[in-house]
Amino acid sequence: MAAKSLPALRVIDPVWTQIRAESERLVDSEPALASFVYASVLSHARLEDVVINRVAAHLDHGDVSGELIRRVYEQALDDDPAIGDDFRADIQAVFDRDPACDRMIPPVLYFKGFAALQTHRLAHWLWTHDRRDFACYLQARSSIVFAVDIHPAARIGRGVMLDHATGFVAGETTVIEDDVSILQGVTLGGTGKDCGDRHPKIRRGVMIGAGASVLGNIEVGAGARIAAGSVVLREVPAGKTVAGVPAKIVGDAGTQPAYAMDQVFDVFDPGI
């Protein structure tokens, strides 16, 4: 007698489960948004479809339709399903770190930093698959729609939070590793007209404060913290806080600055 086959294990997706539950409560509490929430979330079977449809809706234009962008994003996900894991990690990052975000649904529905980051993930996939003009088109649309300008070649990890995001710029050879938090007005740029590898390398767990500029092919070490308004022209050691114009080391960054999001530090001696 043949052995009885075991039932397939159910795949558990806690982020998607939570977002669906929050969407149902949203419909109950704000009926005026019911059709928007159903179309955006509850009519879909998986989180990937929700995210790519929201991105496509933001970017929809007479030149290139949102429907075309959605279909291309589906191609990217079919080729690299791990992009869906990036979605989840980025949502979790915002939920964990942004004190204004008390649910998981707001990044998906409302936060342009999250939408701009997921637009870049598609643009980067296109860039690496030799579809560079389409990638540049998405960069341009993202700049217009979200006020965020990330070169499609820039490499960005998962669990990244672009808080507010307005005015964020990242150049072609920028690298941003996992679990980084970046506030508005940050520039990760070059120092002039140098060619080749010319942009910053932001290592894991870094926090970059609002209005900071990190310029040149320099490394910001893991777990470092860059104070708001600083101009960083030299490498930043892991676990240190830098501040000023030009930036100097002013102390230790503390534990997990990208999660703590603490932008206050002791007044330092200008003679350092």
The per-residue pLDDT string of the chain (272 residues; one tens digit each, 9 = 90 and over) reads 444 444 444 468 999 999 999 999 999 999 999 999 999 999 999 999 999 999 999 999 999 999 999 999 999 999 999 999 999 999 999 999 999 999 999 999 999 999 999 999 999 999 999 999 999 999 999 999 999 999 999 999 999 999 999 999 999 999 999 999 999 999 999 998 888 999 999 999 999 999 999 999 999 999 999 999 999 999 999 999 999 999 999 999 999 999 999 888 765 544 44
pLDDT at 140: 98
| Residues 241-268 as b or e (16 or more Cβ within 10 Å = b) | bbbbeebbbbeebeeebbbebeeeeeee
139 occurs within a structural domain: yes
Residue ranges of alpha helices (H) inside the chain are 14-29, 34-37, 47-59, 66-79, 82-97, 105-109, 112-128, 132-146, 257-260
Domain that holds residue 79: 12-147
Same domain, 82 and 193: no
Q: How far apart are CA 253 and CA 221, in angstroms?
A: 11
What is the bridge-based pairing of β-strands 240-243 and 248-252?
A: antiparallel
Same domain, 20 and 120: yes
Report whether 154 contacts 176 (CB < 8 A): yes
Among all chains, which residue has been given the structure tokens 């980051």? 117
Q: How far apart are CA 149 and CA 143, in angstroms?
A: 5
Same domain, 45 and 77: yes
Same domain, 141 and 172: no
pLDDT at 193: 85
Same domain, 181 and 119: no
pLDDT at 11: 64
pLDDT at 6: 45
Q: How many domains does the chain have?
A: 2
pLDDT at 267: 57
pLDDT at 63: 97
pTM value?
0.92
Same domain, 133 and 201: no
Q: How far apart are CA 168 and CA 213, in angstroms?
A: 10
